């Protein structure tokens, strides 16, 4: 089910919702050098919510040969191996939680840091720093911390580790409890019930 593709030097590799493995060549992704057997796109191939995609696009530094597995092909493989469906679903929930935390909390933390340290040099934001009091900064920081602690408590309650790729066969979660758990996490993060995982 893996497909092959090749890229010349200085070409951007755009394969969305795809698990990609380097077969030959060298690429660069977010200042990291990828060589033979390097992998990216694990979280995107597991998720269905576009708001949580990483959409990583490495740059080929040499002639690059890759193997890739699309989300559609992964779905076909899951239908052939139903025993693995639960493990992949658990992994998808963990990845969605980690990506949801990043999507939700990183901008909030960034806003608090901008408030404390000021806008980036050369940005068009001027004067707004003086409008925010120290009390409101502290209140924002406490709200972020409280939400994050609630999510960690839910993870601990359901014995789910923080590593999205750590999937064990001995997980005691049923599909019903997984659904209720993910719904509770979504509510704590401020997402509606209609969000996809």
**pLDDT beyond 60 at 71:** yes
Query: Given the structure tokens 């795809």, which residue do they identify?
Result: 18
pLDDT value for 94: 85
For 161-186, write each residue's pLDDT tens digit: 544 434 333 334 344 444 555 556 55
Question: Residues 51-55: what's their mean pLDDT?
Answer: 88
Q: Output the six-digit token pair for 85.
A: 């469906």
Which pTM does this prediction carry?
0.58
In the chain, the DSSP E strands lie at 3-7, 18-24, 27-29, 32-34, 39-40, 59-60, 64-70
**DSSP states along 55-119:** ----EESS-EEEEEEEHHHHHHHHHH-GGGHHHHHHHHHHHHHHHHHHHHHHHHHHHHHHHHH-S
* Pairing, β 64-70 against β 18-24: antiparallel
**DSSP states along 146-187:** HHHHHHHHHHHHTT--S-TT---TT----HHHHHHHHHHHHH
Instruction: Kindly indicate the confidence band of residue 86, based on its pLDDT and cuts at 50, 70 and 90.
Output: confident
Q: Give the integer Cα–Cα distance in Å for 83 and 158.
A: 21
Name residue 69's beta-bridge partners: 19
The segment with the largest mean pLDDT, out of 10-14, 49-53, 125-129, 143-147, is 10-14
Work out the mean pLDDT of the chain and round it to a whole number: 75
- As a CATH number, domain 3-76 is 2.60.120.10
Specify the DSSP class assigned to residue 120.
Answer: P
For 108-164, write each residue's pLDDT tens digit: 766 666 666 665 555 555 444 444 555 666 676 677 777 777 777 776 676 665 444
């Amino acid at each position: 089910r893996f497909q092959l593709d090749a890229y010349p030097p200085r070409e951007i590799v755009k394969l969305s919702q795809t698990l990609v493995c380097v077969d030959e060549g060298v690429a660069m992704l977010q200042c990291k050098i990828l060589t033979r057997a390097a992998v990216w796109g694990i979280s995107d191939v597991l998720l269905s919510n576009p708001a949580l995609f990483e959409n990583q696009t490495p740059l080929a530094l040499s002639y690059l040969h890759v193997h890739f597995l699309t989300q559609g092909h992964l779905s076909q493989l899951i239908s052939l191996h139903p025993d693995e469906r639960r493990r992949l679903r658990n992994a998808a929930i963990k990845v969605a939680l980690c990506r949801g935390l990043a999507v939700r909390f990183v901008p909030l933390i960034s806003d608090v840091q901008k408030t404390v340290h000021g806008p980036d040099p050369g940005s068009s934001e001027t004067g707004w720093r003086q409008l925010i009091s120290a009390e409101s900064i502290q209140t924002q920081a406490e709200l972020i911390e409280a939400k994050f602690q609630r999510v960690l408590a839910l993870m601990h309650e359901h014995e789910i580790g923080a590593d999205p790729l750590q999937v064990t066969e001995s997980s005691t979660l049923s599909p019903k409890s997984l659904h209720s758990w993910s719904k509770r996490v979504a509510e704590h993060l401020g997402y509606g019930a209609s969000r996809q995982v």
